[in-house]
């Protein structure tokens, strides 16, 4: 298992530029200041998973290379979360369980965003669950969070597949 994860981290992956772009986006201060996403491990994870879920849904809508990049994006997320958990000092027996829970959280967000974009669920409700773990902040912060997510989604949508895979968007 470790050899497999090492290959994911050390070999060039088509998802690396996009993953790094999403991580950079998740580090932008406006999420934590104006949108009031909790500046905690859980809050940062919720934001990263939300942005990755949006990117994954967008890649699913693309052609075969984009769909493959979506799979690689999830693999990159798994490798990154494994590394982060190890850096937090969590021991080997618990790593698989922790990473599994994180992948499940990402998968749940991907499913929720699919339903939001198909009209099966309310976009705002999905945003509150995904970004704020179900507890909305004040009205101004929630409005900023919603606008910032819509802006991120619009940039994903405007980018063609190859540009997006390269991690380049407006």
- Model confidence over 117-130: pLDDT tens digits? 999 999 999 999 99
Percent pLDDT > 70 in the chain is 84
Looking at the domain assignment, is residue 156 inside a domain?
Answer: yes
- What per-residue string of b and e applies to 74-98 under the rule 16 or more CB within 10 Å gives b? bbbbbbbbbeebeeeeeeeeebeee
Looking at the domain assignment, is residue 170 inside a domain?
Answer: no
pLDDT digits (tens, 9 = 90+) for 2-42: 554 455 454 455 678 999 999 999 999 999 999 999 999 89
Asked whether the beta carbons of 144 and 161 are under 8 A apart, the reply is no
- For residue 91, what pLDDT band results from cuts at 50, 70 and 90? low
Total number of domains in the chain: 1
Of 148, 124, 155, 152, nearest to 36 (Cα)?
148
Sign of CA dihedral 164, 116, 28, 38: negative
CA distance 54 to 33: 21
Six-digit token string for 32: 């934590």
When the pLDDT of each residue in the chain is averaged and rounded to a whole number, the result is: 88
Domain that residue 17 falls in: 2-165
Looking at the domain assignment, is residue 23 inside a domain?
Answer: yes
Looking at the domain assignment, is residue 80 inside a domain?
Answer: yes
């Amino acid at each position: 298992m470790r050899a497999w994860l090492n290959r994911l981290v050390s070999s060039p992956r088509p998802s690396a530029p996009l993953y790094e772009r999403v991580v950079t986006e998740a580090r932008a201060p406006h999420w934590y200041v104006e949108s009031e996403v909790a500046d905690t491990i859980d809050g940062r994870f919720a934001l990263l998973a939300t942005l990755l879920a949006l990117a994954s849904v967008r890649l699913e809508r693309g052609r075969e290379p984009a769909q493959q990049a979506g799979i690689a994006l999830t693999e990159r997320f798994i490798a990154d979360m494994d590394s982060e958990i190890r850096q937090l000092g969590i021991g080997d027996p618990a790593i698989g369980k922790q990473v599994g829970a994180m992948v499940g959280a990402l998968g749940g967000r991907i499913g929720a965003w699919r339903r939001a974009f198909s009209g099966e669920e309310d976009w705002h409700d999905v945003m509150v669950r995904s970004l704020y773990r179900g507890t909305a902040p004040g009205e101004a912060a929630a409005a900023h969070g919603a606008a910032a997510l819509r802006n991120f989604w619009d940039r994903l949508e405007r980018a063609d597949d190859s540009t997006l895979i390269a991690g380049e968007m407006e």
